[in-house]
Structures are given as structure tokens and as C-alpha cells.
Amino acid sequence: IWRWNGARQKRPMSSIVLQPGVKDMILTDCKDFLASEEWYAERGIPFRRGYLLHGVPGSGKTSLIHSLAGELGLDIYVVSLSSKGMSDNMLTTLMGNVPSRCILLLEDLDAAFTRSVSRDSTSTGTPTQTTTTSTSKSKDTSDNGNTLSLSGLLNSLDGVAAAEGRLLFATTNHIERLDPALSRPGRMDVWINFTHATKWQAEGLFKCFFPSRPPPERKRTQIVPLLSEEEISELAKQFAEHIPEEELSVAGLQGYLLKNKTRPRECVEEVAAWIVQERETREKLKKEKAEASYQW
């Protein structure tokens, strides 16, 4: 139901390529929060901070969290809200046992609930449960004994027994599915939108994969041609020029670069053909899915 990722090797911040200023903003915000416990106490504000990372799959949401943990020297506690047997009481107990000074990660927040939740205009904030079995997700989770409700999650986040001093991160691919009570400031204070790869990101990723000099104090285990900084910069620009804006996932680009990690020049020469292949594969899968849906 939950797992501790404290022993996992942390990812360096330099390997995360986001839009300009985003990494610095969130890292500065985290550091400021961790240094502000007395400020919160003086004003009677619960010492908590929430970050909502939303956007397309494979865009680097979880990778950013792991790199932040390494930079801040914090352990990560991952709570799986859709786990078998998860209930309101169990989640409250788990969240109450989370230590201070850690990162608490709630993955795929939109997929957590076995029942939909609705509220009327006179609601005081406590949701009213309504039963739904309209999706396979709902059926699957109800079959495994998961009875977690939105009101239970809200109470565990900022109820009397909720932990303080932790950085709460939540990820979702479908922000439109989240109840406003869950995503409001005080629960999710900072929102960051993750899109498909931009040209700027593509250029930065290329430079990460093909540095102009080997990392210090490390043996070179791959036979990679050591190019000049000028040539790497030029190749990175050429690579980025081929990448369509916000069409391909960051994970997809990383996969292509990884496949060509010892071939920087060929990587640029062949990227246009790879993009065509990716589009053809995507259209084929889309067609097959549509045909399967029609037959069903």
C-alpha cells in the first residue's frame, strides 16, 4: 500500500530538462518551505506544502520528484491510493505515520477513487458519495476491497492527525478529473503543467546525452566520440530543429537518444526518419484501437 524509496539512487537535477525557470522555481520554493517552520508557527499556519504535477504521460513528473529528493536530501514515501484494501481509516493511519522532513508522493491522483464524489452548492466541504460502476477502473478497484473516498483523502491531507513538515507531491495525467476541493491552495499550492517535448527541451536533452567532455572521476564505459563543445552545441540545435513542438513525449525522445547513445552525429542524421516512423506507429495503434472498439 505504500513503499519507501529512501534507498533509491537519486537522479541529478542536471539530467532533468524542463521549460526555462521551472526547475529553479520549484527547488527554490521547496528550500524556502523547509527553512520556514518558525514562520508558519508564528502565524498559526499548518506547516505543509503541496505540489500538483499534471500533464501528459512520460513528461518527467516522477523524474523531477526523484531529482528534488536527491538535491534536498529527503526520503520519498510513495502512497498507492488505489491499492487493494485501501480505506479512509487506513490512509489516515499511513499519512499520520509519515515522518516530517520527507517527500510524500501520491501517484496518479485521478485514478485513486472507487466511487465518484459530488457536492451541492450548500456543501461545507464534506463530499457526498455517489456510487458508480460505469468504468472498468471502478469495478476493478471495488472488487479488490478498496473503499477510499475523496472525503477520506482530504481528511488525511489536512485533518487533525495529518503529518506536518512534509513536501506533498501529487501527479495526475488528467487534472480535469480532480475535485476542486482536492486541488485548491492549502492542499496543492503549486501547480506545474508538463507538456510533450518542446524544441528547447530537445536541445537540452541532446546535450545531456552527449556531453563535450567525460564526467569527472568516472571511467568511460561506452565508446563515445568525444566531440568539441562547439560541435555538440551545433548538433543539439540541428536535433531540436527536427523535433515538432509539443508532439513527442519526453520519454520517447529519451528512448531514441538512449538507443543512439554512442552515435551523436548519426542520431541527428536519422531523427527525421524516426519521427516519421513514430507517427506511423501512432496512427496504426489508433486505427487498431478504433477497429477493436467498433467490433466490441
Which pLDDT tens digit goes with each residue over 255-287?
999 999 899 999 999 999 999 999 999 888 888
Residue linked to cell 520519498: 76
**Residue 219 dihedral angles phi and psi, to the nearest 5°:** -80, 145
Closest CA to 40 of 189, 154, 151: 189
Mean pLDDT of the chain: 79
Tell whether the model's pLDDT for residue 190 goes beyond 70.
yes
Q: How confident is the model at residue 217 (pLDDT cuts 50, 70, 90)?
A: low
Q: What's the pLDDT score for residue 287?
A: 84
CA pair distance 91, 78, nearest whole angstrom? 12
Residue showing cell 536530501: 73
- What is the CATH topology of the domain spanning 2-194? Rossmann fold (3.40.50)
Query: pTM of the prediction?
Result: 0.72
Phi, psi of 116 (to 5 degrees): -75, 160
pLDDT at residue 269, rounded to an integer = 96
Residue 220's pLDDT is 53
Kindly give the pairing relationship between strand 103-106 and strand 2-4: unpaired
Confidence at residue 173, expressed as pLDDT on a 0 to 100 scale: 84
> Residues 2, 77: contact at Cβ < 8 Å?
yes
Of 137, 79, 138, 1, whose CA–CA distance to 129 is shortest?
138
Q: What is the pLDDT of residues 83-124, one digit of tens each?
A: 788 888 888 888 877 888 889 998 878 766 544 444 333 433
- State how far the Cα of 48 lies from the Cα of 95, in Å rounded to an integer: 13
Return the domain boundaries, the chain: 2-194, 199-287
